[in-house]
A and B are shown apart, each in its own frame.
Chain A
Amino acid sequence: ILNVEQSPQSLHVQEGDSTNFTCSFPSSNFYALHWYRWETAKSPEALFVMTLNGDEKKKGRISATLNTKEGYSYLYIKGSQPEDSATYLCAFVNSGNTPLVFGKGTRLSVIA
């Protein structure tokens, strides 16, 4: 059974603070790592799909890094805004035709 861990479970930050959280996954048989943002009462929205060790992806104030050898990915949010409040899910895949295995998510609350 594949285990994907996300930490912290929840996080409260002030508007303007930068923050980051972690996704840990098995370091063997890596294929892809996905990040999704899930705002309350909305659908999960894809942020990044990362496949190569050392990958760095950026979308506005949000960026992510990937280390497949040690089995972790970081998601960074620069200058957090209230609209960044959401649950951030990562999902690991160990081969091209296997399903995504999701972590439990990190719930971010940005206080104005």
Chain B
Amino acid sequence: DAGVTQSPTHLIKTRGQHVTLRCSPISGHKSVSWYQQVLGQGPQFIFQYYEKEERGRGNFPDRFSARQFPNYSSELNVNALLLGDSALYLCASSRRQGAGEKLFFGSGTQLSVL
């Protein structure tokens, strides 16, 4: 079975632009979470979606939004990019919602904002 896939792997944008990151979960997984990882820090929770509904949102501004599609894939959108949005964005899937579920991570999208 394919693992969690994320696209693109790398992205360079300029301040003020908009970006869309994509994630395909493992087949059969209905929960997708997004994390932001800045060098030297642990991954920070951005969103969780389960069965196409938002089930959790981290402490990120409204410029960040996400959605989950009927096939359980997900998009993370960031508007009006700032230099501080430069980070590795990780997507993780699990079979069900719930903190006792192991997360399966993708390799991430490295976003650089210039």
Q: Do A and B come from one complex?
A: yes
- Chain A residues in contact with chain B, CB under 8 A? 4, 31-32, 34, 36, 41-46, 49, 51, 89, 91, 93, 95-105
Most interface-central of B42, B90, B108 (chain A CB within 10 A) = B42
The majority secondary structure among interface residues of chain A is loop
A104 — which chain B residues lie within 8 A by C-beta? 40-42
Residues of A within 8 A of B103 (CB): 34, 36, 44, 46, 100
- Which secondary structure dominates where chain B touches chain A? loop
Using Cβ atoms and an 8 Å threshold, which residues of chain B touch A41? Answer: 107
| B45, A99: Cβ atoms closer than 8 Å | yes
Q: Could you list 10 examples of A-B contacts with CB < 8 Å? A: A43-B107, A44-B90, A49-B100, A49-B101, A89-B43, A95-B99, A96-B98, A99-B58, A100-B103, A101-B45
Question: Closest A-chain residue to B57, C-beta based?
Answer: A99
Partner of B4, one of A32, A34, A43: A43
A98 touches B99 (CB 8 A): yes
CB of B72 closer than 8 Å to a CB of A: no
Tally B residues with Cβ within 8 Å of A. 28
> Does B105 sit at the interface, judged by CB under 8 A?
yes
Sorted nearest first, the 3 A-B pairs with minimum C-beta distance are: A102-B42, A93-B99, A99-B45
A34 to B45, CA, bound (A): 15
Residues on A with beta carbons closer than 8 Å to the beta carbon of B33: 99
In this complex, which of A41, A43, A45, A49 has the most chain B Cβ atoms within 10 angstroms of its Cβ?
A43
Q: How far is the CA of A31 from the CA of B98 in the complex (A)?
A: 10
CA gap between A32 and B58 in the complex, in Å: 19
Are the C-beta atoms of B99 and A96 separated by less than 8 Å? Answer: yes
Other-chain residue from B42, B45, B48, B107 in contact with A4 (beta carbon distance below 8 A): B42
Q: Point out the residues of chain B lying under 8 angstroms from A102, CB to CB.
A: 35, 42-44
Nearest CB in chain B: distance from A10 CB, A: 11
B103 to chain A, nearest CB (A): 6
A31 engages B99 (CB within 8 Å): yes
Query: Taking the complex as formed, is B64 at the interface, i.e. its CB lies under 8 A from any CB of chain A?
Result: no
